[in-house]
Amino acid sequence: MTTFQSIYARLVTAYTRMTQDTERGDVPGWVLITMMTAGLVTALWAVAGPTLNGLFTSAVNGVQGP
């Protein structure tokens, strides 16, 4: 193998390695985070829902128009 062929082969190999997308992402991790967030929101809403509803109603009733 000549020097030119060796350099060319190394460049092609390096370019191929640089352009390949080996990161596939962590889909199960994102699904888990989404499900846990939805569960936390549901749990907080169940516990604090009546209090927040009363707070909102009180705030709306306290607003006076022009």
Domain locations in the chain? 2-64
DSSP H helices, 1-66, are: 3-19, 27-62
Grade residue 46 by pLDDT with cuts at 50, 70 and 90. Answer: very high
Measured CA to CA, the distance from residue 22 to residue 64 in angstroms comes to 60
Please tell me whether residue 6 adopts helix, strand or coil conformation: helix
Measured CA to CA, the distance from residue 18 to residue 3 in angstroms comes to 23
Mean pLDDT of 14-37: 79
Mean pLDDT of the chain: 86
